[in-house]
Amino acid sequence: MHPQADPEKLEKIAAMMRYYILAATTRAGSGHPTSSLSATELMTGLFFGGFFRYDADNPGHPNNDRLIFSKGHASPLFYALWVAAGKLDGEEFINTYRKMGSPLEGHPTVAYPYVEAATGSLGQGLSIGVGLALNAKYLDKLPYITYVLLGDSEMAEGSQWEALEIAAYYKLDNLIGILDVNRLGQRGETMYGWNLEAYQQRIAAFGWETFLIDGHSFPEILAAYKKAGQVADKPAMIIAKTIKGKGVSFLENKNGWHGVALKPEELERAIPELGEIDKTVRGKLIAPEDRKPEKPVAGSVEELHYPPDKPVPTRNAYGNALRRLYPKFPDIVSLDGEVSNSTRAEYFEEKYPDRFFEMFIAEQNMVGAALGLACRGKIPFVSTFAAFLTRAFDQIRMSQYSETNIKFVGSHAGVSIGEDGPSQMGLEDLAMMRAILNSVVLYPCDAVATERLVEEAAKHQGIVYIRTTRAATPIHYGPDESFPIGGCKVLKRSGQDVATVVTAGITVFEALKAHAELEKAGINIRVIDLYSIKPLDAATLMEAARETKAIITVEDHYAEGGLGEAVSSCLCKVVPALVHILAVRRKPQSGKPEELLDYEEISQKAIIKQVKRVLNLP
């Protein structure tokens, strides 16, 4: 047994941590002290019982064990752990917790250096843990263990069960869950209360080894961690019966205290119940092995080659690009939601199967796992149908608070997919991804643009979304064309342009056909391929607004939040431009792509009609 695994010493550390949990939340006037108190022994035993291997002076050490607080509202417990580890001053914790500008936020974020990933939206931590464990077992091949603290309330989330099944599928014996079954949620009893067997039956059925314990007994806690660490070829879950508000009689197992801080006079009543508080007691973390992954070396890549007379779907170009570019970006990994033969991520899988993770039809877990992989320096490309990424919007939303480096690719976008009908049509994805802070949103029209933009995405640090098309589109650009993020391409321009058509993706070719038809009638229009929808090229758009009578945007996406609104919001601040938005405004249905483009009035015919309307021509 580790010399620190002395229950008496651990009890002293736990008492001190309870003091700081209560004092910090009382000073802040808010927080979740009772949810923290229930898991205090569980986390004290993990950190200071000789199990958690961590170089506290180097949070970035590649072989540190990893800890995710999926129940992120228990952040007072997380910070108290680092007080006990000697890496956070107790008074600083009390005085700055939840204060503006403090890294000690109400739910953990990466502003605090010991946080792996931002949590707090429940049901996501286990998926992040899956990504961290996948990285250790299959990529870096390091012996670090990932621990995830889970709340019983969040086990109602479907994303938890997505994570449970994929962790068992990949035999992640380096992943240990700690389920804090404290019976009470925000408004009353949880689904199964203290029925630990109900959790055990369900979790074991998903292929996990399970251990039922008293979550306040250090001997049972230490024994469970030891056994969990010895499990082979499957993940382990410690299912602990705990008491919410443990240690304070008027809080213990009492409903109505979730997310409620004690008043100062209540704190005075509570502290004596904690026993003797030694604020100087500290636990010691054990050092990790000093093993490091091999640093991948970037290599050269093949040049682009697309015959100019052969149309290619941009989804195909995405798969080609990922496969072609991997030597240059050896941190790339690919995750797909069982549609790789449609997204064309299969091209990458065929050549680099060890860098590809099939995540099946479980998009929430796919995004969470990608975040875990990104936390360890990988560049995840996450692909599925654009429509299905909407299922994982909360995971995408939360990933922005981890300052992550994930690339999302949505194929089968828009009504132009045709006969499959509206259930498969991504029509909200541009709005969704534009709403993410500091995201980049790209929509290439041909194979060359797609290849170049995949490369730009790989180089860019941050969240990038690439929208690809099902149908084959002509090769418009030459192989030497560049596509910087934030740029656009002016495809048609003259000194007599009467209107500007701004578009992207498949409707670029509708605009070009409209240009040719109008030119025959002596009407000149400017055509802009706005391949970078966020950020966009404001200078070129403003120039067009000044030089032509109207801006007409065309997109295979709903009007709300799409390309048209991006252009409008850009121009309205500086140029009094009239922007006409052609977008999907009718409920889609099955049909041929060209029929649907006409039906939604985003086709060549609709563009010509709109140009003539703004010019008051018949």
Q: Which residues, other chains included, contact 595 with Cβ-Cβ below 8 Å and sequence gap of 6+? A: none
Q: Which residues, other chains included, contact 170 with Cβ-Cβ below 8 Å and sequence gap of 6+? A: 130, 133, 134, 137, 138, 357
Between helix 40-48 and helix 7-28 the angle, nearest 10°, is 130
Evaluate whether 411 touches 593 at the Cβ level (below 8 Å): no
Evaluate whether 413 touches 426 at the Cβ level (below 8 Å): yes
The amino acid sitting at 463 is I
* Euclidean distance between CA atoms 229 and 226, whole angstroms: 5
Q: Which residues, other chains included, contact 469 with Cβ-Cβ below 8 Å and sequence gap of 6+? A: 313, 314, 315, 411, 413, 414, 416, 505, 506
Residue 609 backbone dihedrals phi, psi, to 5 degrees = -60, -40
Q: Which residues, other chains included, contact 217 with Cβ-Cβ below 8 Å and sequence gap of 6+? A: 41
Q: Which of 378, 391, 322 is nearest to 132 (CA)?
A: 378
* Euclidean distance between CA atoms 140 and 119, whole angstroms: 24
* Euclidean distance between CA atoms 211 and 145, whole angstroms: 17
The amino acid sitting at 533 is I
* Euclidean distance between CA atoms 552 and 542, whole angstroms: 13
* Active site annotation includes 162: no
* Euclidean distance between CA atoms 122 and 202, whole angstroms: 19
Catalytic residue among 220, 363, 456, 600: 363
* Euclidean distance between CA atoms 250 and 335, whole angstroms: 48
Q: How many CA atoms lie within 13 A of 453 on its CB side?
A: 34
* Euclidean distance between CA atoms 215 and 238, whole angstroms: 9
Question: Tell me, what DSSP letter sits at residue 448?
Answer: H
- As annotated, the active-site residues are 363
